[in-house]
Amino acid sequence: MSTNPVTLINRSLRSPAARLASLELPAALAGQSNRIAATHGTESAEAYVRFFEELLDGSPLPTYADVDIVALLESDDQRDALAALIKRSIPSADSFDDLETMNAMLFRLARLDHDDAAVTEFVNAGMQHTLNERTGTFQSREKHFNYHDARDALLGCKRIFDAAGKRFFLDRGTLLGCVREGGFIASDYDIDVGIFADEITLDEVKALFAGTEFELTQDFEFKVGVASPTGVQIDFFLTTRERGYFLSKGFRSIHNWYFTPFELMEYPFLGERFLIPATYEKHLDENYGNWRDPAIFYDLSYNEPCVAYGRGPEAISYLSKRLARALRRGWRYYSVAAANALARSFDLDVTDRVPVEVAPTVAPISEPAWAPRPIIVLDEFQSYGPRHRRVIESALSLTTDVRLDIVAREDHDLADRLTVAGSIDRVTSVARAQLTGEMRLDIDALVADHPQAIVLARHLDTMLSSTDVDALIAAGCDVAFFDESTVALNIVDGRIVARTGEFID
Amino acid sequence: VTKLGAFVRENERPGRRIAELAFDAVVRPRAATGLVLPRLEARARAAGASEALLARAAQLTETLGVRSSIATYRLLAAVASGNKSAMTPLLNKFKPDIPDQLMWDALELGGYDVEQVRHDDAADLVAFFEPEIRRGFVNDGFSQVFEWLLTNQRVPNESPVLRPLLEALVSSAVDLRQKTEAGDQPFASSTLHAVASDLIDPSEPARFFFSGASLLAAAYPDVARARFGNIEFATFRSVDRIVGDLPSEFTLVSRRGNHVVIEHSPTSAQATVVCFDKDGDRTSHGDGRYTRWHTPFDVVVHEFDLGTFPGPSDVDRYLDERYGQWRTPPFFYDAVLDAPNTTIDRSLDGLLFVYSKMRETFATGRRHYADEWAAIMRDRFGIEYSNFVPRSVPRKVLATPLTEREVDGRPIHLVIAAFDDVDAEFIGWLTEQKVDGSFLVAGVVGHRLDGDANERLALANSLALVDHATLIESATDLDEPIPGFVVTSSTTHPSVEMPATA
């Protein structure tokens, strides 16, 4: 809407019909305000006039969601005239929102449907625009470090540790940036590394940095922090190897990170080789959930699945304060998240005051327009071992639909194999793989459900010819082979592959 | 101006910042330092502020600016004069870690007999300062005194005074939100009565009848309905008939799909008339972007406290379908997302509606709504952006400690095995161990520094039969296999030889 006060006063003093008459509009669109007021209401007539005033004087347009101008038209002549006017205006539009409004109106004028390719492209372009604007803004920009300062700080830290014969591993956001971005994530503001408590103490870490260009900035019970000369903060999380899990703690033990135990491996980063958890995909699954896409929302307390709250009064007080703050401010997500956390961890339950999902009793349930694409894992499944577990679990972090196909040339122990494969948690289905007369995998049956990948035990690779592999790839299905050395499935250049790795004791 | 505009949009308390900018522009910090600060310091000193408090107030000029020192001196004087509500803002000036001496001095300045309790038990301290703590909870949503007692004085978790206070904190926040939401009642009963009386002809009950928030207000006047919408009536007639046949007291404002907005001239109140379509075993109305579905109903005349007006025959069923948990209105109710009977239309208008909501909520960081709209976009239109919102992973993927909520009172049965050769025979044995209603814990024999043992632990956890897995390093671990939980029974696989006691 125009912000010029003279314009606003002038408009408020004149009737919509008079204002419309003063605009240079095609005949089909002029003189419509009285008709619209009678058939669609006074507010619609006002919106109609205002839309053309703002379109013609270049003011920001009311969004297509607020005003339905197209519905006010009653003839093809009017629709054609509006389409022509909008097409003339698009080149001079300088705001993304105005372009969106005009394009959305063109879709409606052209009577496109929701599944038209142009409409999907419109949505994707708008979301990409939003994501680009949003990525990196969930933390204060003021805290962000730049790549060069962070790299120098981490390399300096590595030199100090290497000289002392000690080791650390990349952890949390730094690990995520290393693996996903090959750098630091846009929204990060410090460097996180882990150290094993049975290899080095926090006092020893402090001693390593004493007399160096780094300055000690945090000295807590379970974590110390140093700052590089350019102010980049490096946090050292003391990681203890407990019975069945690795544990590190934050300030006052309010947040505790529980990880499945892991070995370390070397990984190229910043032109050097750094240690990271060898099962980094699982580690990041536990740390961040769906870490493969850059999330535009993040909250340490609610978005790190492996975090458990400490049992001390500080933790319950922390959550209570967050709930109180969120309720006061009217923040729904944070109210619900804090209420759930208090109920789950401390039996302080006010969840009855936040909306709960009530199952519809009358609305027609239609088939969802979207379903996850499956990953099909194929092996003989005479027994279930670590290689299966690693492959299946990492497949489950890529899709919620993982199917197991049992390769059995004969029937005699099929029931046992079904028992073994059927004992694995969270898989969608277990079935016998369909074979051709030449005892090869039936490609048509495999691609029938449009899988994103088939993952085959390497010792069975003769069951796929190179022609079969080409056919699968042509059908948009990646092909990967796994064996004892497979650590996880991973995505490289947009394709699912089996990753092998070497651990360092 | 641009910077200020951005600040107002991004911040929760822009008014305060505007005041700060005005202060900097007009008063000039240097002038304030020379003229204002000495006078305020003298006043705070005269009021009884200790040297430590005054020194901290002076120090704030260097760290946070002269405005902070001015505010702190004023707060010191206010606390000393008995203004209890000034205590939390004063202590906020000393955050994050308030030294003990500073806290004791501030409390003494506020009139507390600190000598009486200074060396007392931490739990007694909480009890002594309870009024101060509760005041902070109610007025500010937190209490610095409480935080200090927790962290510096180490109030034990099991202290009996702790939990009631935390519950008070939560319930005060709940009460405040309730008041906030109840304060937005969109229409008064008298207005509803006036509008309904001019619109509804008692001799033709099916022509216009009560629906939506109007029906709730008429049938259950005591239920808070702030978030359940504006005045609404329904009809089984078409939109065109409604528009062409409005009573003289009403003017047409706008229409969208089967929804017509009208204005009642005598009261200037707006009302929405929804035009129901009957379709076999269901009936519906919508605005072209979403549709609300109902079980078909007859319209009958009800004797409401408000008056005699028509409405759906089974009012409760109508309200259940439309609002879900309407009897205890939830906070943050959203008219589309939280209405159980509402679906987004698979149409261009439906998609554009969802898209505009999704893009707006992504852009503004309204997390819950971004999540919801992205899920609708995915499920209704097959366009996937929900993966940009953080998602958790199933509990069993994680190594987090077992919770009582997961066990849910079930007897824990421990099975001790190597979990190194999971074949059909082993699965058969494990199945026998899974007694109905029990919580099966896999005790995996091995040592924490042995990578193979950790692999077997993860393997055990990935079995559908296993509810939880833990490592058994030595026989002593069997005394408490899962810290904090009692194991009801246990079985050891025949192939296992338990390691010796460490």
Rounded to whole angstroms, the Cα distance separating B498 from A80 reads 84
User: Contacts of residue B252 in chain A, CB cutoff 8 Å?
Assistant: 37-42
- DSSP tag of B159: -
Tokens 């001095």: give the residue. Answer: B105
Residues B188 and B154: beta-carbon distance below 8 Å:
no
Is residue B286's pLDDT more than 90? Answer: yes
- DSSP tag of B463: B
Strands A402-406, A429-432: pairing is parallel
DSSP string, B427-451: HHHHHHH--TT-EEEEEEES-TT-H
Sheet holding B282-286, edge to edge: B277-279, B282-286, B290-294, B342-344
Q: What is the pLDDT of residues B296-347, one digit of tens each?
A: 999 999 999 999 999 999 999 999 999 988 887 778 888 999 999 999 999 9
Which residues face B272 on adjacent strands?
A: B232, B261
Task: Say whether B107 sits in a helix, a strand or coil.
Answer: helix
Task: Tell me if B462 and A389 make a contact (CB, 8 A cut-off).
Answer: yes
Task: Tell me if B321 and A382 make a contact (CB, 8 A cut-off).
Answer: no
Of the candidates B166, B340, B355, the beta carbon closest to that of A348 is on B166
Q: Is A117 on the interface with B (CB under 8 A)?
A: no
Share of chain B above pLDDT 90, in %: 51
Task: Tell me if B325 and A356 make a contact (CB, 8 A cut-off).
Answer: yes
- Tell me how crowded residue A124 is: count the other CB atoms within 10 A of its CB: 12
Q: What is residue B21's predicted lDDT score, i.e. its pLDDT?
A: 65
**What are the C-alpha distances in Å from B309 to residues A203, A284, B5, B209, B241?**
78, 60, 49, 7, 21
Element (H or E) spanning A170, and its range? strand A169-170
Mean pLDDT computed over A458-486: 95
Task: Tell me if A289 and B171 make a contact (CB, 8 A cut-off).
Answer: no
Is residue B288's pLDDT more than 60? Answer: yes
Q: Is A40 on the interface with B (CB under 8 A)?
A: yes
B334, closest residue in chain A (CA to CA): A355
Q: What is the pLDDT of residues A364-378, one digit of tens each?
A: 667 788 899 999 999
User: Contacts of residue B293 in chain A, CB cutoff 8 Å?
Assistant: 360, 362-364
How distant is the Cα of A482 from the closest Cα of chain B, in angstroms?
A: 17
Q: Is A110 on the interface with B (CB under 8 A)?
A: no
The runs of H, that is alpha helices, within B11-129 are: 14-26, 29-31, 37-47, 51-63, 66-80, 87-92, 100-109, 114-117, 122-128
Rounded to whole angstroms, the Cα distance separating A167 from A199 reads 8
Q: Which of A45, A48, A33, A42 is nearest to B250 (CA)?
A: A42
Contacts of A391 (CB under 8 A, 6+ apart): A377, A455, A482, A486, A488, A489, A498
Phi-psi region of A283 (alpha: psi -120 to 50; beta: other; left: phi over 0): alpha
Task: Say whether A431 sits in a helix, a strand or coil.
Answer: strand
Task: Tell me if A503 and B451 make a contact (CB, 8 A cut-off).
Answer: yes
What pLDDT band is residue A140 in, cutting at 50, 70 and 90? very low
Q: Is A293 on the interface with B (CB under 8 A)?
A: yes
- DSSP tag of B35: I
Residues B136 and B87: beta-carbon distance below 8 Å:
yes
Residues B146 and A314: beta-carbon distance below 8 Å:
no
Give the alpha-carbon dihedral of B102, B104, B109, B114, to 10 degrees. -170
Q: What is residue B1's predicted lDDT score, i.e. its pLDDT?
A: 55
Is residue B501's pLDDT more than 70? Answer: no
Tell me the count of A-B CB pairs closer than 8 A.
361
How distant is the Cα of B53 from the closest Cα of chain A, in angstroms?
A: 25
Q: What is residue B502's predicted lDDT score, i.e. its pLDDT?
A: 41
Identity at A296, one-letter amino acid code: I
Rounded to whole angstroms, the Cα distance separating A297 from A173 reads 14
The runs of H, that is alpha helices, within A210-299 are: 280-288
Q: Which of A42, A98, A39, A43 is nearest to A73 (CA)?
A: A39
Is residue B183's pLDDT more than 80? Answer: no
Task: Say whether A421 sits in a helix, a strand or coil.
Answer: helix
Q: What is residue B114's predicted lDDT score, i.e. its pLDDT?
A: 83
Q: Which of A224, A95, A214 is nearest to A153 (CA)?
A: A214
Element (H or E) spanning A108, and its range? helix A96-109
Tokens 């205590």: give the residue. Answer: B87
A415, closest residue in chain B (CA to CA): B424
- Give the tokens for residue A401: 């639909």
How distant is the Cα of B38 from the closest Cα of chain A, in angstroms?
A: 34
Return mean pLDDT, chain A: 90
Q: What is residue B29's predicted lDDT score, i.e. its pLDDT?
A: 62
Rounded to whole angstroms, the Cα distance separating A502 from A487 reads 9
Spell out where B197-345 has E strands: 209-210, 232-235, 250-256, 259-264, 269-275, 277-279, 282-286, 290-294, 299-304, 307-312, 342-344
Task: Tell me if B330 and A316 make a contact (CB, 8 A cut-off).
Answer: no
DSSP string, A435-446: B-TTS-B-HHHH
- Which of A462-466, B72-76, B139-143, B286-290 is predicted least confidently? B139-143
Rounded to whole angstroms, the Cα distance separating A319 from A335 reads 10
pTM of the predicted protein model: 0.86
What pLDDT band is residue B358 in, cutting at 50, 70 and 90? very high
- Which of A90-94, A259-263, A448-452 is predicted least confidently? A90-94
How distant is the Cα of A238 from the closest Cα of chain B, in angstroms?
A: 17
Identity at A291, one-letter amino acid code: W
User: Contacts of residue B362 in chain A, CB cutoff 8 Å?
Assistant: 127, 130-131, 134, 296
Task: Say whether A252 sits in a helix, a strand or coil.
Answer: helix
Q: Which of A125, A109, A117, A126 is nearest to A72 (CA)?
A: A109
Within a 13 Å sphere around the CA of B373, how many CA atoms are in the beta-carbon half? 23
Rounded to whole angstroms, the Cα distance separating A480 from A457 reads 9
Residues B270 and B231: beta-carbon distance below 8 Å:
yes
Burial (CB < 10 A; 0-12, 13-18, 19+), residue A116, is middle
Contacts of A179 (CB under 8 A, 6+ apart): A267, A276, A280, A284
Q: Is A410 on the interface with B (CB under 8 A)?
A: no
Q: What is residue B329's predicted lDDT score, i.e. its pLDDT?
A: 73
**Greatest pairwise CA separation for chain B in angstroms:** 94
User: Contacts of residue B443 in chain A, CB cutoff 8 Å?
Assistant: none
What pLDDT band is residue A252 in, cutting at 50, 70 and 90? confident
Task: Tell me if A393 and B348 make a contact (CB, 8 A cut-off).
Answer: no
How distant is the Cα of A467 from the closest Cα of chain B, in angstroms?
A: 32
Q: Is A133 on the interface with B (CB under 8 A)?
A: yes
Of the candidates B330, B379, B465, the beta carbon closest to that of A423 is on B465
What pLDDT band is residue A139 in, cutting at 50, 70 and 90? very low
How distant is the Cα of A96 from the closest Cα of chain B, in angstroms?
A: 12
A118, closest residue in chain B (CA to CA): B348
* Bond from prior residue into B96 cis (ω within 30 degrees of 0): yes
Tokens 């897995």: give the residue. Answer: B469
Is residue A465's pLDDT more than 80? Answer: yes
Rounded to whole angstroms, the Cα distance separating A497 from A501 reads 13
Rounded to whole angstroms, the Cα distance separating B464 from A450 reads 27
What pLDDT band is residue A137 in, cutting at 50, 70 and 90? low
- Which of A292-306, A392-406, B176-190, B194-208 is predicted least confidently? B176-190
User: Contacts of residue B397 in chain A, CB cutoff 8 Å?
Assistant: 260, 282, 285-286, 305, 393, 396
Is residue A62's pLDDT more than 80? Answer: no
Residues A253 and A314: beta-carbon distance below 8 Å:
yes
- Tell me how crowded residue B221 is: count the other CB atoms within 10 A of its CB: 13
Give the A window 216-255 contacts with B, CB below 8 Å.
Answer: 241-246, 252
- Which of A226-240, A448-462, A490-504, B382-396 is predicted least confidently? A490-504
**pLDDT, greater one: A71 or B15:** A71
Of the candidates B356, B403, B458, the beta carbon closest to that of A260 is on B458
Strands B232-235, B250-256: pairing is unpaired
- DSSP tag of B396: G
Rounded to whole angstroms, the Cα distance separating B354 from B364 reads 15
Rounded to whole angstroms, the Cα distance separating B336 from B284 reads 14
Rounded to whole angstroms, the Cα distance separating A309 from B400 reads 10
Residues B416 and B492: beta-carbon distance below 8 Å:
yes
Q: What angle do CA A459, A463, A465 make, to 5 degrees?
A: 115
What pLDDT band is residue B179 in, cutting at 50, 70 and 90? confident
- Which of B38-47, B62-71, B164-173, B493-502 is predicted least confidently? B493-502
Task: Tell me if B390 and A317 make a contact (CB, 8 A cut-off).
Answer: no
Return mean pLDDT, chain B: 87
Residues B213 and B192: beta-carbon distance below 8 Å:
no
Is residue A3's pLDDT more than 70? Answer: no
Q: What is residue B331's predicted lDDT score, i.e. its pLDDT?
A: 85
ipTM: 0.88
Mean pLDDT computed over A110-137: 89
Q: Which residue in A130, A350, A397, A485 has the most chain B C-beta atoms within 10 A of its own C-beta, making it the best mutation to test that interface?
A: A130
Mean pLDDT computed over B434-451: 91
Rounded to whole angstroms, the Cα distance separating B220 from B338 reads 20
Q: Is A126 on the interface with B (CB under 8 A)?
A: yes
- Tell me how crowded residue A58 is: count the other CB atoms within 10 A of its CB: 14
